[in-house]
Structure 1
Amino acid sequence: MQYFSSDLHLGDQNILKYEKRPFTSVEEMNARIISNFSEVLKPEDDLWILGDFVKGANTELAEEFFSSIPGRKHLVPGNHDRETIKKMPQWHSVNGLVEMKADGQPVTLCHYPLMTWNGAHHDSDDPSILSIQLFGHIHGLTRGWWRAVNVSVDVWNFTPVTIGEIRQRSEENRFVVPMHEDLFPSRVAPKVL
């Protein structure tokens, strides 16, 4: 089984405040995420982490995660993933952008939400043709939109998700059209009169 997630930010005290995560301490957050992941994953599973795995170069916390979570781990690095973390031998793969099939579903994995990707504009009801882009980076600002789904732990109750759950969310988001101004209201340029 393939599982997907992003933006764990293990060990990152600031993420509690910035994302208003419902934990009283970074230790509680780390424990909950590790517990949730270990309850879901089996040794034969693949876990794809789409960036922002641990704070800084905290290899000790990364080691704790690796030893607690069964299955193969893959990293699609984000802007907070240091070289020290990317080079850890526990990763089955490390790639900046991945095109693959999960349970027959074409997916493109990238830490950042993309405007377009391979297979994004095919018009078909056949899921073997329609590609879904999976991303993180923007945490809880949006669940995504049709055929582009945010897999950040912030919008999935701090648990990894399957392609079935992703397909369902994509359909739920069919008529959501994200606007940059809605996602980042503080960055809207003032109107000139």
Structure 2
Amino acid sequence: MKSNNIWFTSDHHFGHKNIIEFSKRPFQNVDEMNSEMIRRWNEKVSKEDVVYHLGDFGLTSPSKLRQIRNQLNGKIHLIIGNHETSALEISDCFESVQNYLELTINDSDAFKGQRFIVLLHYAMKVWNASHYGTWHLYGHTHGELPDDETSLSFDVGVDCHGFYPISYDEVKLIMSRKKWKPPFEIRNK
């Protein structure tokens, strides 16, 4: 898979009135929140782009959530979060629906030209091949979990990124600034 049309995001909570107060979102009401997040999504994502949504897509009726999904650009793969009742009822709107995904992306800067990324709604301390420098992207925390600069993982949720999805290149830049060291190197010092 090529990296120039891949996006990551999480925790939109489309239709969820209480998330505005819970996450201190800068919206007056749920309609404003929904329309602004749809606008920001489509500002970045084109119709043919691939989006990995790491859970909590929306908390509203399946019919309203389908209407929202139909306004969003891109081919969306949903990683199941803890608030997916309606999203699961409209699973035909997604390219795939999974609990967990191990993704490989072609990237000439990565080991052997392939970047391995583990996607899950929840943050993990370790994940498959984490000791080899693979990445882990998650959501769920709404920016409340402090980032660990020594770990190749971070929250891709909208509350952390101006209510925009983030591109593979943006993820790559964030990861390049991390101070991660292979655990074998650390023990040998």
Distance 1:55 1:98 in 2: 23
* Pair 1:44 & 2:63 matched: no
Q: Closer, same or farther in 2 for the Cα pair 1:65/1:103, shift >3 Å?
A: farther
Could you state the TM-score of these two structures normalised by the residue count of structure 1? 0.80
SS in 2 for 1:16: helix
Residue 101 (structure 1) shift: 1.8
For 1:171 and 1:143, the matched residues in 2 are separated by: 18
1: CA distance, partners of 2:147 / 2:174: 8
Output the amino acid matched with 2:128.
N
Which residue number in structure 2 is paired with residue 148 of structure 1? Answer: 153
SS at match of 1:54: coil
Q: Is the 8 A contact 1:50 1:75 kept in 2?
A: yes
Q: Post-superposition shift, 1:71?
A: 2.0
Q: Name the residue aligned to 2:134.
A: 131
TM-score by length of structure 2 reads: 0.82
Instruction: Summarize the alignment of residues 107-122 of structure 1 with structure 2, pairs less than 5 Å apart.
Output: 107-122=117-132
Higher relative contact order (CA 8 A, sep 6+): 2
Q: How does 1:144-183 map to 2 (within 5 A)?
A: 144-145=147-148, 146-174=151-179
Corresponding position: 1:93 with 2:96: yes
Aligned partner of residue 117 in structure 1, secondary structure? coil
The answer to whether the 8 Å contact 1:6/1:136 transfers is yes
Q: Work out the CA distance in 1 between the residues paired with 2:169 and 2:161.
A: 13
Stretch deviating more after TM superposition (104-113 or 85-94):
85-94
Q: Check conservation: 1:143, 1:149, Cα contact below 8 A.
A: no
Deviation at 1:63, TM superposition (A): 1.6
**What are the ranges of 5 or more consecutive residues in structure 2 without an aligned counterpart?**
108-114, 181-189
- Alignment size in residue pairs: 166
Question: Quick one: distance in 2 between partners of 1:140 and 1:172?
Answer: 18
State the secondary structure of the residue aligned to 1:121. Answer: helix
List gaps (5 residues or longer) in structure 1: 123-129, 176-193
Residue aligned with 1:144, SS = coil
CA distance in 2, matches of 1:42, 1:63: 19
